[in-house]
Homo-oligomer: A and B are copies of this chain.
Amino acid sequence: MLVSTRGRYALRVMIDLAEHQGEGYIPLKEIAERQEISEKYLENILKILVRNKVLIGLRGKGGGYRLAKSPDLYTVGSILRMTEGSLAPVACLAEDAERCSRMASCPTLPMWTKLDKMITEFFDSITIADLMSSSLPGDNYVI
């Protein structure tokens, strides 16, 4: 599995917040309810997004979360890299991979590299705004 629940939920939250922009700070409880995701689990995911300054969290009564910037300024790729760590299709291409001694002669490496590039370009070509329900699904984020 390339993308786990962490990344998928993060994207859904981003879209949810994008659709409720201008309504001030949205409490976690509300998002969790709408998205049918456990509050406590979601908390862990939103923490990552706040740390990366994608979301702004406000404490106390009337607090909650909101997007730091406009939805068209966030690519799906950037959100997934934050939450998933790496989007590499194979271990050898992960940033923290130990250098493989067979690299120079590996007959499969060019294939993996090419796929990695395809995936990266795909995710980086789509923004949160593209995913919003107001968009026609399936055709507007053509690669």
Contacts and interface: CB of A to CB of B under 8 A. Distances in A.
Given A90-B3, A115-B119, A107 B137 contact: yes
How many A residues are at the interface, by size bracket? 35 or more
A76 interface: yes
A1 B90 contact: yes
Nearest to A35: B102
A88 to B, nearest CB: 7
29 contacts: A1-B1, A1-B88, A1-B89, A1-B90, A1-B94, A2-B2, A2-B89, A3-B89, A3-B90, A3-B112, A4-B91, A5-B91, A8-B90, A12-B107, A15-B107, A15-B108, A36-B102, A76-B111, A107-B131, A107-B133, A108-B131, A109-B137, A110-B138, A114-B122, A114-B138, A115-B119, A118-B118, A118-B143, A119-B119
